[in-house]
């Protein structure tokens, strides 16, 4: 079933990042449906987290969408080329978010191949946040789009994820975050778990 807004407005963001593993992210743009099982996430804990764009309550046009109530997309451009897709969580004015770093394609694989210009051969296809957005067709123009909508949503298909199947570690690519770079906020699904 489709996750309702209640799922996203909770806290802590680390719990939501963990619970998103094994859920299914769907996009439907121009009648093209693509979906994948979420296999990797990272939590970004808002104003107290030096790795977050909202650290120290920073507000810009780009980050403003993180301050609305949970259940919308926060998409921004990284390195001028990669569209990175985040899920805003918590209540209004608490700018927490979960970065989607990896999925396993399950639906619309041909569409994803067309978008990415690559063939899916079972691995190395949607194993990075830029690749995930590209395959799902997500762009910065989708920032602020509701995750309880007909274009973008997440489904719980009842898959039971054991804690043994979750690998936890520090987040990737944030050395500037000082001691917060050591936080164990990255959640990875064991390769034993398949869609």
Partner DNA sequence: CGGCCGATCCACT
Partner DNA sequence: GTGGATCGGCCGA
Nearest-angstrom CA–CA distance, 91 and 184: 23
Q: Does 170 sit near DNA (CB under 7 A)?
A: no
Binding window for DNA (CB under 7 A); candidates: 105-113, 125-133, 150-158, 183-191: 125-133
Residue 28: what are its φ and ψ, rounded to 5°?
Answer: -135, 100
Nearest-angstrom CA–CA distance, 125 and 141: 23
We find the least distance from the C-beta atom of residue 99 to DNA, in angstroms, to be 3
The one-character DSSP state at 112 is H
The residue from 17, 35, 38, 99 that contacts DNA (CB under 7 A) is 99
Burial label, 178 (beta-carbon count in 10 A; 0-12, 13-18, 19+): exposed
The residue from 174, 185, 186, 187 that contacts DNA (CB under 7 A) is 174
Q: Does 86 sit near DNA (CB under 7 A)?
A: yes
Q: Show the tokens assigned to 110.
A: 């041909």
We find the least distance from the C-beta atom of residue 28 to DNA, in angstroms, to be 22
Residues 6+ away with beta carbon under 8 Å from 143: 62, 65, 73, 74, 75, 76
Q: Does 45 sit near DNA (CB under 7 A)?
A: no
The residue from 76, 107, 161, 193 that contacts DNA (CB under 7 A) is 76
Nearest-angstrom CA–CA distance, 122 and 28: 23
Q: Does 114 sit near DNA (CB under 7 A)?
A: no
Q: Does 122 sit near DNA (CB under 7 A)?
A: no
- Per the listing, tokens 């107290």 go with 48
Q: Does 172 sit near DNA (CB under 7 A)?
A: yes
Binding window for DNA (CB under 7 A); candidates: 7-15, 16-24, 82-90, 152-160: 82-90
Q: Does 79 sit near DNA (CB under 7 A)?
A: yes
We find the least distance from the C-beta atom of residue 71 to DNA, in angstroms, to be 16
């Amino acid at each position: 079933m489709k996750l309702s807004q209640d799922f996203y407005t909770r806290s802590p963001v680390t719990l939501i990042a963990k619970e998103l593993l094994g859920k299914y992210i769907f996009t439907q743009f121009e009648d093209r449906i693509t979906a994948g099982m979420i296999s990797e996430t990272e939590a970004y804990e808002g104003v107290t987290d030096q790795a977050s764009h909202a650290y120290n309550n920073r507000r810009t046009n780009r980050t403003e969408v993180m301050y609305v109530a949970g259940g919308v997309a926060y998409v921004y451009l990284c390195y001028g080329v990669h569209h990175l897709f985040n899920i805003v969580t918590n209540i209004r004015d608490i700018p927490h978010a979960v970065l989607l770093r990896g999925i396993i394609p399950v639906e619309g694989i041909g569409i994803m191949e067309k978008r990415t210009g690559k063939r899916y051969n079972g691995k190395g296809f949607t194993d990075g946040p830029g690749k995930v957005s590209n395959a799902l067709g997500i762009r910065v123009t989708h920032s602020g789009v509701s995750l309880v909508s007909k274009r973008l949503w997440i489904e719980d298909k009842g898959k039971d994820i054991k804690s043994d199947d979750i690998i936890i570690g520090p987040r990737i690519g944030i050395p500037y975050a000082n001691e917060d770079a050591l936080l164990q906020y990255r959640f990875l699904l064991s390769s034993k778990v398949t869609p």
